[in-house]
Structure 1
Amino acid sequence: MSDQDLITVKVHGVHRVAEGVAAFELVREDGEPFPEWAPGAHIDVVIGEGLERQYSLCGDPAADKTWTIAVLREPESRGGSRRLHDEVAEGTPLAVRGPRNEFPLESSPQYLFIAGGIGITPLLPMVRALAAVGADWRLVYGGRQAASMAFVDDLAEFGGRVTVWPEDQFGLIDLEALLGEPADGVKVYCCGPGPLIDAVEARCAEWPPGALHVERFRPREGALDGERTGFQVRLDASGLTLDVGPDQSIAEVVEAAGVDIMTSCREGTCGTCETTVLDGVPDHRDSLLTQEEKAANDTMMICCSRSRTPLLVLDL
Structure 2
Amino acid sequence: MGKEKVHINIVVIGHVDSGKSTTTGHLIYKLGGIDKRVIERFEKEAAEMNKRSFKYAWVLDKLKAERERGITIDIALWKFETTKYYCTVIDAPGHRDFIKNMITGTSQADCAVLIIDSTTGGFEAGISKDGQTREHALLAFTLGVKQMICCCNKMDATTPKYSKARYDEIVKEVSSYLKKVGYNPDKIPFVPISGFEGDNMIERSTNLDWYKGPTLLESLDMISEPKRPTDKPLRLPLQDVYKIGGIGTVPVGRVETGVLKPGMIVTFGPTGLTTEVKSVEMHHEALQEALPGDNVGFNVKNVAVKDLKRGFVASNSKDDPGQGSS
When normalised by structure 2's length, the TM-score is 0.29
Q: Which has the higher strand share?
A: 1
When normalised by structure 1's length, the TM-score is 0.30
